[in-house]
């Protein structure tokens, strides 16, 4: 696939939102995005080891690549998606994108060449046969893949070659069940955190699907991010972020409808900066730990 490059003017984001003394993180402005691209609803962001930033939005081209100084270097995927949603970069530098309208998760090389597809393009499936509206995915320390298969209300597990291994979940309010398995996060112990959107809780599982905990103090979770300080939860309904410790206790909340316009999926750079996508804001806001 041919990469597309731009040399257009980049508009710098000067606005910094106001923080209160109680906020655990403070805003440092926004990622500058190219003025000559019509940015659509902002869905996801990923940061690789060298702080190369990948931006996923519902415009064309849907995948934008920025260098460590947030300068646009490439863009690809034009015409290949319907409704992009989740974005990850794995340990080998592959870029993963979920499309919940096409019912697939695709793995791309850094240059934008497809090298693996989970699910059947344009055809909803279940069990080992496919996916239905997948929203997000994470990859564990062994390279196993976990997909938040929202339409099937499950977590689907695959090996590194895309072979279906197992699943857990199903619809319901009971522990281990989901209203919508939306956003995912994974920690260094391979515990998987699921944003159970609609059930107003975060659920925690071992990587074999054993239910460990449910946390209900962060509202209706859309996106999740594991940090050294704890788990950040994005509540898109309340336009708010919450920092939880690893026992599920709130360590603070921040954001309003004026300062966070539907926060969604998130990522963290090697310097600790937290990147938060805003669906309605069509932007990525940057946060750093309050001192």
**What does the pLDDT look like over 55-77, one tens digit per residue?**
999 999 999 999 999 999 999 99
Average pLDDT in the 122-146 region?
A: 98
Instruction: Tell me the C-alpha distance between 256 and 251, whole Å.
Output: 17
Sheet containing strand 240-244, strands side by side: 221-226, 231-235, 240-244, 250-254
Q: From residue 113, how far is each of 4, 98, 116 by CA, in Å? A: 13, 15, 9
Average pLDDT in the 100-116 region?
A: 96
**What does the pLDDT look like over 219-240, one tens digit per residue?**
999 999 999 999 999 999 999 9
**What does the pLDDT look like over 19-31, one tens digit per residue?**
444 789 999 999 9
Domains contained in the chain, CATH given: 25-289 (2.120.10.30)
Say what the pLDDT of residue 50 is.
Answer: 85
Say what the pLDDT of residue 6 is.
Answer: 39
Q: Residues 113, 130: contact at Cβ < 8 Å?
A: no
Q: From residue 257, how far is each of 18, 194, 200, 236 by CA, in Å? A: 13, 24, 19, 9
**What does the pLDDT look like over 153-193, one tens digit per residue?**
999 999 999 999 999 999 999 999 999 999 999 999 999 99
Nearest alpha-carbon partner for 252 in 7, 14, 15, 20: 20
Say what the pLDDT of residue 16 is.
Answer: 40
Instruction: Tell me the C-alpha distance between 19 and 73, whole Å.
Output: 32
Average pLDDT in the 277-281 region?
A: 98
pLDDT at 92 over 60: yes
Say what the pLDDT of residue 22 is.
Answer: 73
Q: What is the DSSP letter of 120?
A: B
Spatial neighbors of 109 by CB under 8 A, at least 6 apart, are 93, 94, 95, 115
Say what the pLDDT of residue 17 is.
Answer: 40
Say what the pLDDT of residue 291 is.
Answer: 81
Q: What is the mean pLDDT of the chain?
A: 93
């Amino acid at each position: 696939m041919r990469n597309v490059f731009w040399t257009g003017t980049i508009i710098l984001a000067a606005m910094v939102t106001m923080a209160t003394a109680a906020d655990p993180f403070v805003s440092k402005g926004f990622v500058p995005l190219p003025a000559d691209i019509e940015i659509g609803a902002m869905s996801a962001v990923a940061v690789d080891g060298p702080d190369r930033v990948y931006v996923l939005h519902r415009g064309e081209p849907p995948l934008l690549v920025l260098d460590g100084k947030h300068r646009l270097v490439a863009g690809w995927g034009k015409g290949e998606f319907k409704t992009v949603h989740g974005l990850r970069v794995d340990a080998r530098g592959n870029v993963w994108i979920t499309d919940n309208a096409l019912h697939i998760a695709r793995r791309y090389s850094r240059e934008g060449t497809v090298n693996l597809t989970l699910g059947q393009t344009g055809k909803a499936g279940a069990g080992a046969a496919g996916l239905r509206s997948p929203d997000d995915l994470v990859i564990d320390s062994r390279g196993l893949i976990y997909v938040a298969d929202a339409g099937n209300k499950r977590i689907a597990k695959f090996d590194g070659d895309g072979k279906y291994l197992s699943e857990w979940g199903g619809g319901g309010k009971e522990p281990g069940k989901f209203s919508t398995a939306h956003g995912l996060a994974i920690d260094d112990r391979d515990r998987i955190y699921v944003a159970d959107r609609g059930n107003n809780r975060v659920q925690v599982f071992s990587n074999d699907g054993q239910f460990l905990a449910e946390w209900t103090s962060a509202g209706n979770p859309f996106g999740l991010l594991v940090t050294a300080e704890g788990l950040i939860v994005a509540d898109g309904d309340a336009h708010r972020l919450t920092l939880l410790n690893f026992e599920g206790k709130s360590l603070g909340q921040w954001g309003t409808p004026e300062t966070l316009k539907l926060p969604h999926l998130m990522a963290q750079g090697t310097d600790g900066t937290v990147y938060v996508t805003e669906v309605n804001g069509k932007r990525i806001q940057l946060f750093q730990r309050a001192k």
